[in-house]
Amino acid sequence: VMKGKIQGAWNLHQLCADLNPNYFICYSSIASVWGSRELTHYAAANRFLDALCAYRIQKGQPALAVNWGPWNGGGMADDDMLRTLANQGVYGIDPAVALDQLASVMGESPAINREPSANIAKSDSQLPQIVICDIDWQILKPLAEVLGKQPFLSQLGVVQNKSEAETFGPQY
């Protein structure tokens, strides 16, 4: 997994150098955002994709790493893994919903789309990555911080009710 992801992404980056593409999207994983004890090589390979997208943004090239949560209906997470993750507050995403979320992000992110549009003109964000997952932070955050505060999670507030969640907008 590690060699294929890293070499494949780097080759694509190099081959696109003279093509000036409108989009350069890497499918990464939430494992690169907060790690995975059992899949350290997988987390590291996906972290390379995140870093490559940050590098491309610095060079003025389009890029976005999508840090996907687990998908339902196949993929890396089988039914047993999906049940285990659900007990931790991490739920599988239906593929159609995941792709709808990606389409929404693509329409709003100037980091991946060089073509001007009404949505892009309103935003100056050049974020090289985004997490798309279905997480219940009220379950996951306390579990992840059992042995102490986690720097990444300390930046998250826990939404207490639905009206508060709506204040923050869509939760990808």
Q: Is the pLDDT of residue 161 over 80?
A: no
**What is residue 34's predicted lDDT score, i.e. its pLDDT?**
81
pTM above 0.75, yes or no: yes
Based on C-alpha coordinates, what's the Rg of the chain?
Answer: 17
pLDDT tens figures, 90-128? 999 999 999 888 888 887 655 554 443 333 322 344 678
